[in-house]
């Protein structure tokens, strides 16, 4: 996503959440105090309000309050409360970027609201579901749900909500690069917001229109609306709006080559952005200043501001990464705790059943003793009954042992996962920091060759970091279920050719002959995006471990009712001892390529999970020094996945 579209995303968030995300701590304290002495119906409402209030403070607490509301609503069978709780859970997962979970709970909320004919709730659900589809770039579904929301809100007379949905439609068309349509919807938004008389949102609407004119390269009109946004922001004292407007005005003058006005506006924006500590505006302003000084041939200052831009960008990235990893750890620990609680509840139920059994058994013995006609028969029946119950207890204990073993395995996998993060993130970061510091301190003393050499190290370290984080996020997505799975029947040949075209440059750099022997259509039933990731990982590995002037090829054939794909290389091969460790997260095997390329160790683990998710198998045949062949299979048509 471009910088412009990132800013657009921020604006749509302000429009949709401004009224509900501004809860202050004193209001939270008041809501929490009310939980003590209210009825169950009131408690559900308070818990849902607390869930909403914590969106901008703690998403873990937000999710917890929504779950509490759901439990109480289900206990008293309060359908509206259940629908609202599902909606709050969907919101919490949305802000955690878990769109699959978010969609699941928004759909549950919609189902409940439709059953009880909660029209206002249905309209809100349509908007929420449309927002998820917007994030997933499914423009057709986004348009469908936003239009449903607008129609229903119109029917209900909710005029205040409609401008924000129309604004979201503008964002939809902007992301789809349909700038004329985006301009049309932003214009509609402005007209409706002006009728409401909300100055802060009018300033934001002016900003969106200015961005539309900027996209359409009508920079004079863009300036007009940026100045309008600036005037309103200054009038109401909105410093974020002031910083944004000055920055945008400076960028627009830069496009018009009016350098006399560029610097003043960018410096004004920079001053306010520093005051309110807005990292995104600082980052964008530093880049514009770098472009300005480059255009005016002051390359020293251009370099300084580009360095500040890079530092701000890295700071934002590091903050996001830290938060994401912390959230992953918290959710993993929370899931384990919930599993432990379920085991304890299960154990308690077993003990209760056993106690009830003993009571019944004692009464039975007493009754049998009183009316018994044969002591031998009584002992025999009792013995048989005890044997059956002991067998049941043994089976129950065995299930508990298996559950405990599974928990230990999950904990071991989690610990290994975080050790991979700690180990592999450290090495490239050390290279980035070390060599960038050398360049920074000794730039004037180094010749071009040394600068090129150090820059190459920095680039490859950054690339290694990117690959690691990409693989980690994809792997964590398979564990949390946040990766969409959309299998379909399609021609595998096209996917293979696309991946080869992407990797052609890497192969050419090592003078490796990379090609496909798949000449005829080969139809498989699988998720196209997931299989593309598998093929890219396998071909990338083959290139990495093949010497210069070698060969890498991919073939496909029909065998035993499935399609078998082979990735064949003439590289260094794999020893028998290492082959058994390739697809295991708990053993984590990684080695360097023929020219020192570093791997994350997660690529083949991802491949295994992705292939199995698509109903196939993956294996390898190799011998040290004699190349490798990685095989995997895919179904030819739809298959029913076994439990």
How confident is the model over 382-419, as pLDDT tens digits? Answer: 668 778 777 877 777 787 787 777 676 566 566 656 65
Percent over 90 (pLDDT), the chain: 29
User: Comparing 428 with 445, which gets the higher pLDDT?
Assistant: 445
User: Comparing 582 with 330, which gets the higher pLDDT?
Assistant: 582
d(CA 362, CA 369) in angstroms, rounded, equals: 10
Would residue 631 count as lying in a domain?
yes
Whole-number pLDDT of residue 1: 38
How confident is the model over 121-178, as pLDDT tens digits? Answer: 998 999 999 888 888 888 888 889 988 988 888 888 887 788 878 888 888 888 888 8
Q: In whole numbers, what is the pLDDT of the chain averaged over residues?
A: 80
Do 362 and 382 lie in one domain? The reply is: yes
Do 276 and 360 lie in one domain? The reply is: no
3-state secondary structure 548-581: CCCEEEEEEEEECCEEEEEEEECCCCCCHHHHCC
Whole-number pLDDT of residue 492: 94
The secondary structure of residue 615, as a DSSP letter, is T
Give Dmax over CA atoms of the chain in angstroms.
114
pLDDT mean over 483-510: 88
331: phi > 0 → left, psi -120 to 50 → alpha, else beta; which? alpha
Identity of the highest mean pLDDT range in 14-28, 142-156, 350-364: 142-156
Do 489 and 464 lie in one domain? The reply is: no
Do 526 and 577 lie in one domain? The reply is: yes
Would residue 234 count as lying in a domain?
yes
CATH code for the domain of 290: 1.25.40.10
- Type and span of the H or E element at 635: strand 628-635
Cα-based angle 137, 143, 146 (whole degrees, multiple of 5): 115
Residues facing residue 620 across a β-bridge: 630
Do 474 and 492 lie in one domain? The reply is: no
Whole-number pLDDT of residue 10: 35
Q: Is 362 helix (H, G, I), strand (E, B) or coil?
A: helix
Would residue 33 count as lying in a domain?
no
User: Comparing 468 with 531, which gets the higher pLDDT?
Assistant: 531
Domain that holds residue 291: 198-297
How confident is the model over 318-349, as pLDDT tens digits? Answer: 766 555 555 555 555 555 555 565 565 455 55
* Order of strands across the sheet that contains 618-622: 513-516, 551-559, 562-569, 628-635, 618-622
Whole-number pLDDT of residue 466: 72
CATH code for the domain of 533: 3.30.565.10
pLDDT of residue 93 exceeding 70:
yes
Q: Phi, psi at residue 292, to the nearest 5°? A: -65, -50
Nearest Cα to 229, choosing from 180, 280, 265, 184?
A: 265
Do 442 and 491 lie in one domain? The reply is: no
Q: Read off the pLDDT band of 21 (50, 70, 90).
A: very low
Do 521 and 581 lie in one domain? The reply is: yes
User: Comparing 461 with 280, which gets the higher pLDDT?
Assistant: 280
User: Comparing 14 with 202, which gets the higher pLDDT?
Assistant: 202
Do 431 and 346 lie in one domain? The reply is: yes
Whole-number pLDDT of residue 406: 63
Whole-number pLDDT of residue 5: 39
User: Comparing 81 with 366, which gets the higher pLDDT?
Assistant: 81
Whole-number pLDDT of residue 324: 53
Do 355 and 275 lie in one domain? The reply is: no
What's the total number of domains in the chain? 3
Q: What is the bridge-based pairing of β-strands 618-622 and 523-527?
A: unpaired
pLDDT mean over 608-624: 91
pLDDT mean over 616-639: 89
Whole-number pLDDT of residue 603: 78
Do 275 and 354 lie in one domain? The reply is: no
pLDDT mean over 304-313: 90
Q: Read off the pLDDT band of 313 (50, 70, 90).
A: confident
- Picking from 297, 332, 364, the residue at the C-terminal end of a domain is 297
Identity of the highest mean pLDDT range in 24-38, 172-186, 466-480, 548-562: 548-562
User: Comparing 37 with 354, which gets the higher pLDDT?
Assistant: 37
Do 556 and 585 lie in one domain? The reply is: yes
How confident is the model over 132-145, as pLDDT tens digits? Answer: 888 888 888 888 99
Q: Read off the pLDDT band of 472 (50, 70, 90).
A: low
Would residue 135 count as lying in a domain?
no
Whole-number pLDDT of residue 13: 34
């Amino acid at each position: 996503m471009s910088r412009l579209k990132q800013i657009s995303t921020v604006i749509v968030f302000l429009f949709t959440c401004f009224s509900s995300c501004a809860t202050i701590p004193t209001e939270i304290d008041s809501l929490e105090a009310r939980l003590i002495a209210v009825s169950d119906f009131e408690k559900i409402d308070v818990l849902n309000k607390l869930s909403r209030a914590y969106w901008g403070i703690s998403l873990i607490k937000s999710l917890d309050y929504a779950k509490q509301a759901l439990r109480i609503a289900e206990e008293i069978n309060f359908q509206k409360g259940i629908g609202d709780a599902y909606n709050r859970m969907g919101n919490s997962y949305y802000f955690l970027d878990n769109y699959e979970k978010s969609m699941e709970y928004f759909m549950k909320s919609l189902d409940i609201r439709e059953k009880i004919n909660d029209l206002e709730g249905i309209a809100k659900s349509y908007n929420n579901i449309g927002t998820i589809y917007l994030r997933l770039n499914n423009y057709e579904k986004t348009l469908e749900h936003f239009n449903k929301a607008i129609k229903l809100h119109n029917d209900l007379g909710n005029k205040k909500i409609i401008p924000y949905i129309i604004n979201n439609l503008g964002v939809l068309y902007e992301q789809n690069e349909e700038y004329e349509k985006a301009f049309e919807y932003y214009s509609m938004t402005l007209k409706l917001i002006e009728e409401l008389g909300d100055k802060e949102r009018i300033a934001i609407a002016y900003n969106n229109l200015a961005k539309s004119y900027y996209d359409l390269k009508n920079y004079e009109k863009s300036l007009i609306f940026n100045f309008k946004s600036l005037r309103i922001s200054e009038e109401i004292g909105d410093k974020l709006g002031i910083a944004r407007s000055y920055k945008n005005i400076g960028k627009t003058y830069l496009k018009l080559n009016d350098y006399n006005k560029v610097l003043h506006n960018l410096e004004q924006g920079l001053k306010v952005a520093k005051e309110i500590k807005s990292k995104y505006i600082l980052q964008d302003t530093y880049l514009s200043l770098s472009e300005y000084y480059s255009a005016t041939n002051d390359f020293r200052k251009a370099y300084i501001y580009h360095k500040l831009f890079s530092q701000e960008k890295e700071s934002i990235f590091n903050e996001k990464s830290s938060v994401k990893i912390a959230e992953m750890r918290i959710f993993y620990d929370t899931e384990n705790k919930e599993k432990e609680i379920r085991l304890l509840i299960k154990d308690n139920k077993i003990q209760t059943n056993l106690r009830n059994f003993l009571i019944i058994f004692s009464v039975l013995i007493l009754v049998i003793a009183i009316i018994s006609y044969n002591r031998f028969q009584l002992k025999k029946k009792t013995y048989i009954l005890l044997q059956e119950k002991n067998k049941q207890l043994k089976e129950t204990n065995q299930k508990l042992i298996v559950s405990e073993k599974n928990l230990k395995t999950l904990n071991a996998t989690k610990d290994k996962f975080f050790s991979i993060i700690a180990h592999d993130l450290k090495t490239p970061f050390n290279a980035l920091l070390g060599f960038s510091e050398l360049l920074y301190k000794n730039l004037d003393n180094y010749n071009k060759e040394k600068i090129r050499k150090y820059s190459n190290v920095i680039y490859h370290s950054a690339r290694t970091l990117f690959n690691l984080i990409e693989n980690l996020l994809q792997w964590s997505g398979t564990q949390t279920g946040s990766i969409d799975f959309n299998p379909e029947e399609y021609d595998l040949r096209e996917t293979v050719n696309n991946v080869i075209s992407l990797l052609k440059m890497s192969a050419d750099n090592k003078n490796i002959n990379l090609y496909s022997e798949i000449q005829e259509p080969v139809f498989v039933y699988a998720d196209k995006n997931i299989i593309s990731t598998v093929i890219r990982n396998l071909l990338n590995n083959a290139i990495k471990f093949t010497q210069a002037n070698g060969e890498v090829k991919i073939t496909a054939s029909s065998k035993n009712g499935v399609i078998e794909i082979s990735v064949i290389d003439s590289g260094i091969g794999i020893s028998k001892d290492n082959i058994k460790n390739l697809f295991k997260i708990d053993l984590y095997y990684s080695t360097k390529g023929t020219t020192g390329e570093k791997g994350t160790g997660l690529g083949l683990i991802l491949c295994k999970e992705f292939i199995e998710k698509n109903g196939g198998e993956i294996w390898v045949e190799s011998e040290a020094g004699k190349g490798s062949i990685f095989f995997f299979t895919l179904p030819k048509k739809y298959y029913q996945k076994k439990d």
